[in-house]
Amino acid sequence: MKQICAAFSAALFLLVSGAAVLADDVTLKSRDGAIELSGTLLGFDGEFYRVETQYGELTVDGSGVLCEGPGCPSLTDFVAELSISGSSTIGDVLMPALVEGFALQSGLKAERVKIDDTHFEYVLSAPDSESPVGRFQFRVSSTDEGFADLLADEADLVMALREIREGELALAAEVGLGQLDDVNRSRVLALDAMTVIVSPTNPVAAVSVSDLSRILAGEIDNWRTLGGADAPISIHLRDAQSGIAQAVDDRVLRQAGRSLIAEVTRHATNTALAQAVARDQLSLGVASFSEIGNSKPLALTGPCGFELRANRLTIKTEDYPLTAPMFLYIPARRLPKLGRDFLAYTRTAPAQIITRRAGFVDQAPEEIALNAQGDRFANAIRVAEGEADLTALKRMVDTLAPLRRLSTSFRFEAGAARLDAQSRSNVQQLAHAIEAGVYDGRQLVFVGFSDGEGPADGNLRIAQQRAQAVKQAIEAAVETSDLSQVQLSTDAFGEAMPMACDDTSWGRQVNRRVEVWVR
């Protein structure tokens, strides 16, 4: 909290006394001389001026005004600048690979310049020129630091391994950065997962999320409870500012109403964490799926006998419950055109290939045949009870057999009708694919599922409502197409195909979903 307050104070200082800090005084005059506006230049994107005035922060179209004063930028030698701060997991490998891919596709050369251990920049220029057209400046630290830099007006984009928190949302809105949990204020670059790891010599193969929360809270402190040796459990996590460590706190401990035990070994990097756990037979850690090294990942299980393992497909579909989206948060202000082009590039097929090659789970939709989903249907048969359940199961198989499941899934925030952050990004991704004609001449069926709590009829009705809500969100997001080339429909099967046990809130959350099936 102290860090957030410091960031807020810094942001206020910049807004209130920007002239003293930047000394970029400008006067913008309309070309007929009728209107004159003076203030402190906060930014220029090559087309629009962003100026702090007595009326507040204003954005002015540069084509209609003349700029006078010491802060006026050069219109002929403009260099687009983009400042990016946050998670080292994203900033060390993925973002540099995407910037280099973007430069190559744009016909530019990208030169990486190291500044210090946490700062570097990419200078983008034409192949036959030494004059830069853009500078992408990186500060690689933690998710916490990224949001602090954004609040202090020292970053244009935040790399985050968790969703923005309520306190950060409120502060961002106060300093004029917009509502950062809106659909256009964030996007998912790639997918990762919180993976429970142990030493390869540890005999334990699975753990429930309920037991994981009890281990992290110190309520389970001996491997014997999990079927292992009679020995104490040593807990290893990333540093407290890391997005993945905070995601563990938000999604495992807080949901269970527990707090992290004090006796935890912290690590500055994912690699160091995985190496430490692999060496120690008595250790348990929660690591990034992309960097588990030689450690052994545990399956997630529950009393109903279901097991879920982290792999590329279960992470992409969000069937694995501890999926960790890798976010870019974007404030409500105009970025330079080069920056906007880069953001558009991150959704393209070439960018998804780069993401996959960098070792992360990409978001390119995949089609999965029914016969490749045997485990899911076996689980559905296992929990079916009575003639009504078997009838519903038969209808589901008959309906879905001619279709293929897309890896794109949708889930809702706990206890709310609003799509979660990853699903809001999925809406945009699928809408762009529809606009691009990827599904022309095909049928997309949005299929709703529920948990098993409560009456089956009510669950079926809720599942149908969720499927309809996702379909409407897609229709609203498709801006450049009349949808005449693709058929959208809905169906629902309620509790007929659970993905996890219903005994915990996370299990019920996994089961409440909308899948996309394509014909």
Q: What is the distance in angstroms between the CA of the first residue and the CA of the last residue of the chain?
A: 50
CA–CA distance, 357 with 355 (Å, rounded to integer): 6
pLDDT at 11: 39
pTM: 0.77
Of 153, 64, 180, the residue nearest 421 (C-alpha): 180
- Where in 262-365 does DSSP place strands (E)? 265-267, 283-288, 296-297, 299-301, 307-308, 323-329
What class has domain 80-189+327-357?
alpha beta
**Do the domains 80-189+327-357 and 192-316 sit in the same CATH topology, yes or no?**
yes
Which stretches of 45-185 are assigned E, i.e. beta strand?
A: 48-53, 56-61, 65-68, 80-87, 109-114, 119-125, 132-141, 157-160
**Gyration radius of the chain over CA positions:** 25
Distance CA 298, CA 320 (A): 12
**Is 20-68 in CATH node 2.30.30.100?**
yes
* Amino acid residing at 249: D
Digitized pLDDT (tens) for each residue of the chain, 519 residues in all = 444 444 434 333 333 333 333 447 889 998 888 888 888 888 787 778 888 888 888 888 887 888 888 888 877 678 889 999 999 989 999 999 999 999 999 999 999 999 999 999 999 999 988 889 999 999 999 999 999 999 998 999 999 988 898 899 999 988 888 888 887 888 899 998 999 999 999 999 999 988 999 999 999 999 999 999 999 999 999 999 888 899 899 889 988 899 999 999 999 988 999 999 999 999 999 998 988 999 999 998 877 777 888 988 889 888 888 888 899 999 888 888 899 999 999 989 899 999 999 989 998 888 988 777 766 777 777 766 767 777 888 888 888 889 999 999 998 887 667 888 888 888 988 998 898 888 999 999 999 998 878 888 888 999 999 999 999 999 998 876 678 889 999 999 988 888 777 777 777 888 889 999 999
Say what the pLDDT of residue 455 is.
Answer: 83
The pLDDT assigned to 225 comes to 95
442 close to 519: Cβ distance less than 8 angstroms: yes
Angle at the Cα of 141 from the Cα atoms of 136 and 142, rounded to 5 degrees: 115
> Is residue 81 within 8 Å of residue 44, measured between CB atoms?
no
What is the CATH class of 365-518?
alpha beta
Secondary-structure class of domain 192-316 per CATH? alpha beta
Which pLDDT value is given to residue 374?
Answer: 64
The domain segmentation of the chain, as residue ranges, is 20-68, 80-189+327-357, 192-316, 365-518
For the chain, how many residues are written? 519
CA distances from 135 to 339, 401, 513 (A): 10, 51, 41
